[in-house]
Amino acid sequence: MRMVDIIIKKKEGIKLSKEEIEFFVKGITDGSIPDYQASALLMAICLKGMDDEETLNLTLAMASSGDTVDLSQIPKVKVDKHSTGGVGDKTTLILGPMVAALGVPIAKMSGRGLGHTGGTIDKLESIPGFNTQLTQEEFIRIVKDIGLAVAGQTGNLVPADKKLYALRDVTGTVDSIPLIASSIMSKKLAAGADAIVLDVKAGSGAFMKTAEDARKLAKAMVEIGKGAKRKTVAVITDMNRPLGNAVGNALEVREAIEVLSGHGPDDITTVCITLAAKMLELAGMGDFEKCAQLAGGTIRDGSALMKFKQMIKAQHGNEKVADDPDLLPSAKYTVEYKAASKGYISAIISDKLGVASMLLGAGRATKEDSVDPSAGITLLKKTGDMVEAGEPIMILHANSQSLFKESVNQLEQAVVISSEKPPETPLIIDIIQ
């Protein structure tokens, strides 16, 4: 089998066989296929596409290209959740404790962020002492003990994806739905869960800018899950607006605690209850309506917050932050960002808000950058709110005053004020199952 023949075949729009796809994945993993040939095939896939069977075969080959996590020691159905990322997306911190409080084990491997803000691991590491670098044995032990652990990826999990992702980033082939779907789902399959809930974001602050593209990606990933014999559901949620009021690592942990305590913003609470209900439904806890009531009940009775504390303690963090969020890191300087004119906030463009937060230190421009856990933005007003000229609409947090100017420049492009109130749009756009 020759790589050049596989490239030509896909260039001509012909379906690749399972054996050809496995040959490609093995070669990219062991280095026997050079980057220029791998890049050529990625471009051919980007231009000609893949059908469901090809995408499934690519995903399965990538998932088995390295280590896999065996969760069989943990009883009951293990449900995983993945978000395609967004501004203010701290859902794992909230729905993990909600679901675990109802007896469904959550063994979650998460990543660091590149871009707007930190990933789930960065957010958890803003909790003093919290350890995300667990061995597989520690990870499984904690889940067996308390039903919940969130850790960084360990070992050699899906090495093929790491190599292909790096190539896609520099060859203009990131926006291929088969490549995106196989990248996400290969990691989910390798992580060992029995069922998967996908939070697919759509909008300015998301990778998929339109609901139509988000649906295509959601359907592709659900088909992969079906082909891999994993129960899979995708919830398409709106990311034309930031989720919640906090953007930044410690700020988002603080807001997660507010939600778990029963007084968080309505939007993030609604999304988390929806996602948690789908996870509980896949675990066999009842229909969606019953599971939504169960999920909301964990906030009302305090069991979700208690589970969050247990996880922090089990992973060597200071669980007192759940009762006193002031123990979280806080920035040395704050500045108010004020409305330029009177009117309704018709839009807060999420990706520009995310960049403004990154410029304060809350995210990474490159993989080598460090994240300031205390940096970020707190929203005082949201889309649809009336504001007066000069009224504060955000608070910026940073540890250097020199960072505010560039961030404010971004915010001037992010906030749109108009004379008419914008129409309300749904947070939950669709559910694909």
| Cα-based angle 287, 290, 292 (whole degrees, multiple of 5) | 105
Whether residue 315 is found in the same domain as residue 333 = no
Which tokens go with 351?
A: 């990706």
Domains identified in the chain, total number: 3
Q: Is position 61 within any domain? A: no
Q: For residues 186 and 175, give the distance between their C-alpha atoms in angstroms, rounded to a whole number.
A: 17
pLDDT, tens only, 279-336: 999 999 999 999 999 999 999 999 999 999 999 999 999 999 999 999 999 999 999 9
pLDDT at 141: 95
Choosing from 65, 110, 183, 186, which is the catalytic residue? 183
pLDDT at 296: 97
Whether residue 25 is found in the same domain as residue 83 = no
Q: Is position 112 within any domain? A: yes
Across the range 13-19, mean pLDDT stands at: 97
pLDDT at 379: 96
Among candidate residues 278, 303, 322, the one where a domain is terminated: 322
Q: For residues 378 and 245, give the distance between their C-alpha atoms in angstroms, rounded to a whole number.
A: 6
DSSP label of 403: G
Whether residue 253 is found in the same domain as residue 401 = no
Rounded to 5 degrees, what are φ and ψ at 324?
A: -135, 85
Closest residue by Cα to residue 154 from 114, 185, 192:
192
Integer CA distances (angstroms), 198 to 93, 166, 258, 402, 430, in order: 15, 23, 24, 39, 12
Whether residue 161 is found in the same domain as residue 235 = yes
Choosing from 187, 215, 307, 309, which is the catalytic residue? 187
Rounded (10°) angle between helices 266-282 and 91-100 = 50
pLDDT at 312: 98
Q: For residues 32 and 380, give the distance between their C-alpha atoms in angstroms, rounded to a whole number.
A: 54
Closest residue by Cα to residue 148 from 193, 99, 205, 106:
106
CB 307 within 8 A of CB 147: yes
pLDDT at 81: 92
Question: Do you know the residue count of the chain?
Answer: 433
Question: For 53, how many CA atoms within 13 A lie in the half-sphere containing its CB?
Answer: 7
Residue 174 reports pLDDT greater than 90? no
Choosing from 78, 82, 201, 309, which is the catalytic residue? 82
148-152 and 195-202: which strand pairing?
Answer: unpaired
Q: Is position 118 within any domain? A: yes
Domain that holds residue 30: 3-49
Name every residue whose Cβ is closer than 8 Å to that of residue 34 and which is 6 or more positions away in sequence.
none
Among candidate residues 297, 322, 347, the one where a domain is terminated: 322
Whether residue 239 is found in the same domain as residue 333 = no
Q: Is position 73 within any domain? A: no
The verdict on whether 30 is a catalytic residue reads: no
Residue 30: CATH number of its domain: 1.20.970.10
Whether residue 12 is found in the same domain as residue 98 = no
Q: Is position 62 within any domain? A: no
pLDDT, tens only, 99-144: 999 999 999 988 776 556 678 899 999 999 999 999 889 999 999 9
Residue 335: CATH number of its domain: 3.90.1170.30
Among candidate residues 282, 306, 322, the one where a domain is terminated: 322
Choosing from 81, 168, 215, 231, which is the catalytic residue? 168
pLDDT at 114: 52
Integer CA distances (angstroms), 18 to 14, 282, 286, in order: 13, 30, 38
The verdict on whether 187 is a catalytic residue reads: yes
Whether residue 332 is found in the same domain as residue 310 = no
Whether residue 131 is found in the same domain as residue 9 = no
Neighbours of 426 (CB within 10 A): 9
Which tokens go with 138?
A: 């520690």
Residue 367 reports pLDDT greater than 70? no
Choice between 119 and 213, residue whose per-residue pLDDT is larger: 213
pLDDT at 403: 94
The overall average pLDDT reported for the chain is 93
Rounded to 5 degrees, what are φ and ψ at 157?
A: -80, 120
DSSP label of 283: T
Whether residue 154 is found in the same domain as residue 228 = yes
Q: For residues 259 and 265, give the distance between their C-alpha atoms in angstroms, rounded to a whole number.
A: 7
Residue 256: CATH number of its domain: 3.40.1030.10
Q: Is position 299 within any domain? A: yes
Q: Is position 56 within any domain? A: no
Which tokens go with 365?
A: 């421009």
The verdict on whether 278 is a catalytic residue reads: no
Question: For 20, how many CA atoms within 13 A lie in the half-sphere containing its CB?
Answer: 18
Q: For residues 80 and 411, give the distance between their C-alpha atoms in angstroms, rounded to a whole number.
A: 35
Burial 78-87 (b: 16+ CB within 10 A, else e): bbbbbbbbbb
Across the range 14-41, mean pLDDT stands at: 96
Whether residue 318 is found in the same domain as residue 337 = no
Which tokens go with 346?
A: 């018709």
Share of the chain above pLDDT 70, in %: 97
pLDDT at 113: 62
Whether residue 290 is found in the same domain as residue 344 = no
| H helical segments located in 172-210 | 177-190
The verdict on whether 183 is a catalytic residue reads: yes
Q: Is position 425 within any domain? A: no
Across the range 29-38, mean pLDDT stands at: 95
Choosing from 80, 89, 122, 161, which is the catalytic residue? 161
Name every residue whose Cβ is closer than 8 Å to that of residue 302 and which is 6 or more positions away in sequence.
none
What is the SS3 assignment for 220? helix
pLDDT at 425: 86
Question: pTM (2 decimals)?
Answer: 0.91
Whether residue 25 is found in the same domain as residue 92 = no
